Amino acid sequence: MRGMTLATPPFAPKKPHTFSHHGLSVTDDYAWLRDPGYPEVTDKDILGHLEAENAWFEARMGERKPVIDNLFTEMRARIKEADKSVPQKDGNFLYWIEYEEGAEYKKWWRRPVGSPDDGSADELILDEVALADGVEYFRLGAIAVSSDGTKLAWSVDDNGSERFTARIKVIATGEVLADEIPGTLSGLIWVKNDTGLVYSLANENWRTDNARLHWIGQPLENDVELYHEDDEGFRVGAALSANEQWLIISTGDHETGETRLVPAHDPLAEPILVKARQKGVEYDVDERDGVLYIHTNDTHENFRLATAPLGNPGEWTTLIEGSDEFYLTGFELFRDFYVVEGRVRGLDRIEVRYYDDPARIEPIEFPEASYEASLGDNPEWAMTVLRVGYESMVSPASSFDYDVATRSLKLLKVQEIPSGYDASLYETARLEIAARDGTLVPVSVVWRKDRAAINGQGGGPLHLYGYGAYGIAIGPGFSTTRLSLVDRGFAYAIAHIRGGDDLGRAWYKAGKLEARTNTFNDFVDVAKGLIDRGFTAAGKISISGGSAGGELMGAVINSDPDLWGAVVAHVPFVDVLATMLDADLPLTPGEWPEWGNPIEDKAAFELIQSYSPYDQVKPQAYPPLMVTAGLNDPRVTYWEPAKWVAKLREVKTDSNELILKTNMGAGHGGKSGRFESLKETAEEFAFILWQLGVEA
């Protein structure tokens, strides 16, 4: 490493590497930071450089340690340490999860229905605290109780690689069976009277191209492949129908789907193909009384709900028409009614509907103008009361029971904030800000009502968050960590930019492929609109985003560096061109419908190159930047942020902070555990406060 001491940042050596496609050549001086043995990273020069960057991070942030500790303490004080979920009935038991005082991980409990609520009948079925003991990283992947309630299957990732090992135990005795399935990346589905378990393996390229059946008590070599997917861009998953009669095996990518049904009591039976895949058509399926219910975008981009007889599954008849106004995001079947979920003008809507009366529509009403609401855990077929979750930017997360017959909501629990929270001190608004092409972009903002007094008259600091990819909506939900900025005078805004599906499927399509740059322009234009409305000023805006949202961060600091006073990019997808050119990377083939295929399409190559943050780094002043990475991250590989930071160090013309922290024992989600992850948020906020000069 050139000139590396704790007084100066590490500069990675330049080792020019050139590649060509479509007659176009690209030189990448930092391609060497990808270990050729990945996913094993053993190259001493690479590890040495990452460790040097970590040392520089510690040197710069070490001075902020009192602030980080203070932020962590106040964030932790907002979490109820000894906490439990509201029990939910499933069969003969009530199930809930519980955190003990100081515990990073939860415990899973149950008790028989009708037994006293005094702890005497409580049964611990899974102890994450014990499972996580002695490992640097822990993540529970799947958990499933057998239908007879006697056995538990679960899976664990203990290094952040997102390859999970599944195990099975007898609940009553705690005996862990000899069955052990390494390398899973899926749910775990009990079938055939609990004698079999359906799962998917991650192949060598971290793709789930299969659905497999494991017979309990038999060796793994006897496992049966129920389905194999030959298209390398598709992923396979399995689930049970709501009535638990059918195993549903689905395959698809970001724009096309296909589903097969297999009797759950006879998983080796010939699968029923619902409808052969058709490019651009997505669908998902459930079944009731010989009728299939199909949620699909075949006739309208905002989806319709159709039905088909089980005997003729490809003959679809519309039940709920597709609509420009109502974006139908999903449905759930129950014995006596069904529920559809969607969004109207970007706000969540839940409707109860009836099989025997299509005209009878009963929306669940909520009190605020801007909020997030969704069905919670409703595991039984014959539900009469639905568990519903609700929150807003000023209202902590709440659990309700909704009585379908009386159409009434009963509050069960409100998220408790032990250090105190007074919602009346805060104000929220949902704005619309015009992007440069005239499109109105929704923005959710929250701030303290006394903010002007804190900051004086004029634009104070503002934090702007965005994502804008894969059709993932970022709802106006509640956050306890966010309060650490808002209580220091920040306004906090979420830009509902194109690329997400906040306003429907058209909103998503308007931010992908050839329309990708709308996402970046929307974010910049929202920031300028918030300045125009007096919320903040140029240079007083901190921004953050992760993964594809990290790509967003990279794009907007290239295009409009002067707007931002501090930038945090978590596991940022910034080396877009090189990644989309590498078909051997786990995610790449499945990502081409989202970004384009630059291997086959010259126009896609040129477009991606034109906005790829790494490729567009140029000599100019950049805002202060904090970057994170995970050595074991299979989604955004560690070398993307490492290369980006190396190139920025080389060419940027300013002396602003640029720091990179690589978690050497974690993956895409950063550190595990509810408090360990808070430490990383505390570091992020300490960096923002430092760079914006806000009293910590």
Which residues belong to CATH 3.40.50.1820 in the chain? 1-79+538-696
CA 623 – CA 422 distance, rounded (Å): 35
Q: Return the DSSP state at 532.
A: H
589: preceding bond cis by omega (within 30 degrees): no
Which token pair is 38?
């990945």
Q: Which two tokens stand for residue 250?
A: 């689905």
* Global pTM value: 0.91
pLDDT of residue 3: 41
Catalytic: 633? yes
Separation of alpha carbons 160 and 665, rounded Å: 7
DSSP state of 634: S
Other C-beta atoms closer than 10 Å to the C-beta of 365 total 8
Neighbouring CB atoms inside 10 A of 111's CB total 19
Whole-number pLDDT of residue 340: 98
Q: What is the pLDDT of residue 456?
A: 44
Tell which residue, 544, 547, 545, has the closest CA to residue 571: 547
Q: Of the residues 542, 547, 612, 672, which is catalytic? A: 547
Compute φ and ψ for 185, nearest 5 degrees.
-150, 70
Annotated catalytic residue within 28, 253, 502, 633: 633
Q: What is the CATH number of domain 1-79+538-696?
A: 3.40.50.1820
**pLDDT < 50 stretches in the chain:** 1-4, 455-456
| pLDDT tens-digit readout, 109-139 | 999 999 999 999 999 999 999 999 998 889 9
Residue 516 token pair: 């990708």
**Hunting for tokens 């010989």 — which residue is that?**
290
pLDDT at residue number 303: 98
Annotated catalytic residue, options 295, 463, 496, 668: 668
Q: Which pLDDT belongs to residue 584? A: 86
- DSSP state letters, 23-47: TEEEEETTGGGS-TTTTS---HHHH
Question: What are the φ and ψ backbone dihedral angles of 647, each rounded to 5 degrees?
Answer: -70, -40
User: How many residues belong to the chain?
Assistant: 696
Which pLDDT tens digit goes with each residue over 63-106?
Answer: 999 999 999 999 999 999 999 999 999 999 999 999 999 999 99
